[in-house]
Amino acid sequence: MTENEILIEKACALWHEWFKDEEHDYSEREDSDVEYFVGVLLYNQFAFEKALSTMKTMDIAFDFIQACDESYDAVRELLARLKVYDDVESLALLQGHIQRSLEKYSRPECYLLNRLAGHINTLEAIYKDEIEVKKIDFERLSDQGNQVYK
């Protein structure tokens, strides 16, 4: 593992340990949420230049942040130590984190991780110039019958 991957794993381990205490629980918790929220923090930290204007940042659930209490700052401090030099490297690091995370859990537990993976894979296609997107047409997407957009 690289130094960056070790820092990400430490961040995940910190939250997994934190959430073993039932006093730190939040609504609809799944173990895979830790990896998802670490992925969201990474996405926000990397501030991808080619991210759509409507997707420059991702929100972290308020109940999750509340449940994290002081562990939130500890995780952010670990992730702030990552050394990445460009968006392509950041994207690969985030995709690696998501892939390793998906391998840890069964499919029903991976709803949020799969959603994040889909978004990040689309971002990769934008960086590879495979798709050119200026904005998301939410009306068109809602007409496709995809429940995520309804």
What distance in Å separates the CA atoms of residue 88 and residue 6, rounded to the nearest whole number? Answer: 19
| pLDDT range class, residue 150, cuts 50, 70, 90 | very low
Angle between helices 111-127 and 33-46 (to 10 degrees): 30
Dig out the tokens for 145 from the structure. Answer: 């019958």
pLDDT at position 145 is 56
Beta-carbon count within 10 A of 124 CB = 17
Q: What is the pLDDT of residues 105-132, one digit of tens each?
A: 987 788 999 999 999 998 998 899 888 7
Weakest mean pLDDT among 6-10, 14-18, 39-43, 56-60: 56-60
Supply the pLDDT for residue 149.
Answer: 41
pLDDT, one tens digit per residue, over 61-108 is 899 999 999 999 999 999 999 999 999 999 999 999 999 999 999 877
Specify the pLDDT at position 25. 87
Spatial CA neighbour of 24 closest among 85, 74, 89: 74
pLDDT value for 81:
98
